[in-house]
Structure 1
C-alpha cells in the first residue's frame, strides 16, 4: 500500500531520521523520491451545502419558537377560561342579590314556579366524530391530564387492530391515536395513583398497560380466554382485576410479570361483563372494601383479603349489563336488560350492608347483602351491552344522578336518586353505549359515546 507525502515533508524527514523511509523504515535517499502528478483536480464548492445547513438551523429555531408560543397560548387560554368562569359566578351572585332585594326567595319560587332542582340543565356543547365506520366501545377520563380516551378500531388498513383516540379536554379536540390491541377493546381504566398509566383488556386475550403521555407500552399479560372487563384496586395501586369470558376474575400485580397472582371463581354463569372496586372504609355502617362483580346472570361482592377471598352472592335479578360506583355516598348502580319477567330495562341503585344470619347473639355470622334504594325503569329494547353511570351532581351538593341509555327512544335519561324523578332526557340519533362525567376548566360535562362519535353536554345554571 502506498502512502503519499508532500516533497518538502519527505526531505525534512530524511534529514532528520538518517535516511529512512517514513513508511517502512527502510534505507532511503533523496533519489528514491518519486514525484506523482494528478490527472485531474476539482475544487468542491460547499457553499450550497453550507447555505442549506444554515437554513435548516433557522427553520429548527423557528419551530422551537412556535412550539413555545403554542404552549404559552394554551396556558393563556386556560387562564382566560378560569377568569370567565369566575366572572360568571360573580354575575350569578349579583343577580341573586338583586332578586332577593326585590322579592324574597319563597315568594319568588311560588310566583314563578321555579325550583332549585330545575335550575341546572345539560346543553349540547360539542361533538367529535371518532370512527367513520363505527366500532367505538368504551371511554375513560383522566382528570390529572385533562384527557379522555375512546376505544376505536384502526383507520389504517395496513395496520389493523384496535387502539385508543386521545381527546384534549382543554379545547375538546381529538389528538393522537395509540394502537394497543389486535381485536376489540372491551374495557379500560386509568390507574388511581399513577395517572398516566392506562389499563386495557380486549378480545385478543391480552391485558395491556400503556403510558398515555409518551404513547409507549409499559407491560402486557396474556390470559387463556377473551377479556371483558377490568378495574384497578383503589386500595393498592399496583393491583388490578380482569374479568374473563369464562366467568373468572384474575388478580394481577404490576410488579409480578409471571401472570395472575390470584384466580377468583364467582357464582353464576356467563362472562364477567363488569367490575367495580369499592375502597376500604373503617365504618360500622358500611362494609369493608371489596370487588363488585357482575356476570350475565349473577352479581356478587367479593371481599379480597391477603390470604382469603370471600364470595358473597347478591340477591339481585338480572340479566346484568354494567356496574357503576359513586364514592361520596358509597352507592352503586346495577343495570339490567329486559327479560321475560321484567319487560323493561332496570337500573337498581343499591348500598352494601352487613346482615347477621346467626340465630344467637353468641355467634357472629354476618354476610354482605345489597339493599335496593331506588329502581328506575328504561325502555323495552336493549340489544347493546351499554354502560350506565351513577354520579354526584356537579352543581348541586348532595344530589345524586342516575344516567342510563334508552335504546327504545334513542335517548339518555337522567334521574334524581333522592326523589326518583326524571330530571332530563337527552335525545340522540344513535344508541349511547357509554356515559362519563367530566370536570374540566371549572366546568362539568356529560360525555355520551355512540358507535361512531362522542357528544359533550355541558351543565349550565339557568338564571332568572
Structure 2
C-alpha cells in the first residue's frame, strides 16, 4: 500500500516527498502549492489502495472521440445496408439482362428460321422441301398437319431445393414443394403468383411431412392440393388458408398420389411397399381399400384413368408405375396386371421403369426406363435400383409409347433411346393439342435440356437448355403454359397451341 499524507491546508502528497521538502526548508516549512506554513508534526498520514489524478481536458477529449467512433460505426452500418441493396439490385439486373439475351437469341433464330422457310429448298420436282432439323435454344419447328409448334420462353424464377410442383393457370399460380438450405430442416409449399410483381407466399409444412414426393392440385376444387410425403402422410391442403383439409396417417411412406378424374370423392396413394391405398374423402378414419402390389417396389407414379365407353358406368381404374413397369388396377374388382397385357417380351426387356406420363384425352402412355443392372426384380423398399456407374452422370435408357385401346388392352406404338437419370425419378408430360399430334416433354440428363418430341415418331421438335437436370414438367392446356422445374429454378414457356 502506498503512503500518502495530507497537510493542514488539505493538499495531498506522498509521505517521502513531503518529508524531503520540509527538511530542505527546515524551520520555514510551507505547503509547496499554497505556501501555508506547516511543520512535520502537522503532516497526517493517509491510507489508500489507489489514488487517481483526473485530467478533465483529457476526459473530455476521450468522450468526444468515443462519440465520433459511435457515429462512424452507425454510418458504416448504413453503408453496408445500402451495399447489400445495391448487390441485390445488381443481381436482379443481371437476371433481366440474361432474360433479354435469351429473348434476343430466340428472335434472331426465329427470323433466320422464317427466312429459310420462305426461301425453301427446291427438289427436282419443283416442290418446296422444308428443312426439319433439331435445333437448340428456342427454335420453333413445324410438325404434323402443317401446324406450327412454337413454345416461347416466358420467365425464370430462381429457387433452392425445388423438388416438385403443379400449376393452376386458372388462378394464375404455381405451387412448388422445396427445402431451402438457408432455413434448415424445414419443408415449404410456396404459392407463386404468375401476375406481376410475382409475389411468393410460403406455407410451412409440418415437420412430420419429411419431404413431399408427389403433389397435384384438385381438378374439381382448384384451391386444394393433394400431396404424398415420406413422413407417412397423405394430406389435402387448402393453399388459400394454408391449413389442412384432410390428413391421413399411413403405415409406410407414400411415394405418389392422385385425384380420381371421374369422382370428387376418391383419392389414391402409392406406397413404398408396392401397395396402393384407396380413400373416400367422406371417410376420414382411414383408407377404403388396400390393394396389394405385385412386388414390393415403391409405386413412384400414379394416374387415374379416364372413363371410356368400354368401362361400366362408375367403374374406376388407376395406372401405377414401379421398377417392374406400369400396372393397371381395377378398383371395384381389385384386379391388377402389368401393362401391356397380354405379356410382351419386348416391353419387359426395356429395363427399370423410372417415369410414367399419361394423357387422358388420347389414352397415350409413355413409360421411361433406365438399364437393368442385376437380375433381381424386387429390391429393398428403401433403396434405388443398383447401378455400377458413377451416380448422377445419366445413362442410356429409353421411352416407350403405349396406346390404351380398350378396358384392359394396351398396344406398343413406338420407342426411342434417351439420356435418362440413373438415380432420380423425374416427371414427364404428354401434351395433347387440338387437332394436332401429341408432344412428349422430358429431360435430357446428359445435356440438361428440356426436349419436346412428336408422338408417335419421337422426332425432336424443340430443345430448351436448362440450368440443371430436369426434375418435373407440367403443362396447362387452358393457357398453353409449360413449366419445367430443376433443382434451382422454375422456368415457364407458352405456346399458342391449346
Instruction: Provide the TM-score with structure 2 as the length reference.
Output: 0.61
CA shift, 1:444, in A, is 2.4
Report the count of equivalent residues: 334
Relative to structure 1, the CA distance from residue 250 to residue 119 in structure 2 (aligned partners, 3 Å threshold; closer, same or farther) is same
Relative to structure 1, the CA distance from residue 288 to residue 261 in structure 2 (aligned partners, 3 Å threshold; closer, same or farther) is closer
Output aligned runs, 1:335-346, within 5 Å. 335-340=368-373, 344-346=396-398
Contact kept, 8 Å, 2:420 with 2:443, in 1: the verdict is no
Q: Distance in 2 between matches of 1:266 and 1:137?
A: 26
Q: Distance in 2 between matches of 1:313 and 1:271?
A: 15
The C-alpha deviation readout for 1:198-231, integer Å capped at 9, x for no partner, is: 1111111111111112222212111011110000
1:386 matched to 2:426? The reply is yes
Contact kept, 8 Å, 1:181 with 1:204, in 2: the verdict is no
Relative to structure 1, the CA distance from residue 253 to residue 428 in structure 2 (aligned partners, 3 Å threshold; closer, same or farther) is same
Q: Distance in 2 between matches of 1:370 and 1:331?
A: 9
Q: Distance in 2 between matches of 1:429 and 1:170?
A: 24
Output aligned runs, 1:301-312, within 5 Å. 301-305=328-332, 308-312=333-337
* Structure (1 or 2) with the larger CA radius of gyration: 2
1:120 matched to 2:149? The reply is yes
The C-alpha deviation readout for 1:168-203, integer Å capped at 9, x for no partner, is: 223482410112242110001122212211111111
The C-alpha deviation readout for 1:117-163, integer Å capped at 9, x for no partner, is: 273333322110122xx2x11111223322211111256748x4312
Match of 1:333 among 366, 385, 388: 366
Aligned residue for 1:268?
295
Q: Distance in 2 between matches of 1:189 and 1:181?
A: 18
Output aligned runs, 1:54-453, within 5 Å. 110=128, 116-117=142-143, 119-131=148-160, 134=161, 136-153=162-179, 157=183, 160-171=185-196, 173-182=198-207, 183-283=210-310, 289-305=316-332, 308-315=333-340, 316-317=347-348, 318-340=351-373, 344-354=396-406, 368-379=408-419, 381-393=421-433, 397-439=435-477, 443-453=479-489
Relative to structure 1, the CA distance from residue 333 to residue 388 in structure 2 (aligned partners, 3 Å threshold; closer, same or farther) is same
Contact kept, 8 Å, 1:438 with 1:445, in 2: the verdict is yes
Q: Distance in 1 between matches of 2:491 and 2:403?
A: 31
CA shift, 1:242, in A, is 0.4
Relative to structure 1, the CA distance from residue 314 to residue 110 in structure 2 (aligned partners, 3 Å threshold; closer, same or farther) is same
1:454 matched to 2:490? The reply is yes
Q: Distance in 2 between matches of 1:220 and 1:370?
A: 35
Q: Secondary structure at the match of 1:345?
A: strand
Q: Secondary structure at the match of 2:470?
A: coil
Q: Distance in 1 between matches of 2:409 and 2:453?
A: 24
Q: Secondary structure at the match of 2:128?
A: helix
Aligned residue for 2:94?
none
Aligned residue for 1:62?
none
5+ unaligned residues in a row in structure 2: which ranges? 1-113, 119-124, 133-140, 341-346, 375-386, 388-394
Q: Distance in 1 between matches of 2:402 and 2:256?
A: 21
Bigger mean CA deviation after superposition, 173-182 or 247-256: 173-182
5+ unaligned residues in a row in structure 1: which ranges? 1-94, 100-106, 355-366
CA shift, 1:432, in A, is 0.5
CA shift, 1:289, in A, is 4.7
CA shift, 1:112, in A, is 6.6
Q: Secondary structure at the match of 1:446?
A: strand
Instruction: Provide the TM-score with structure 1 as the length reference.
Output: 0.66
The C-alpha deviation readout for 1:254-277, integer Å capped at 9, x for no partner, is: 111111110011213311111011
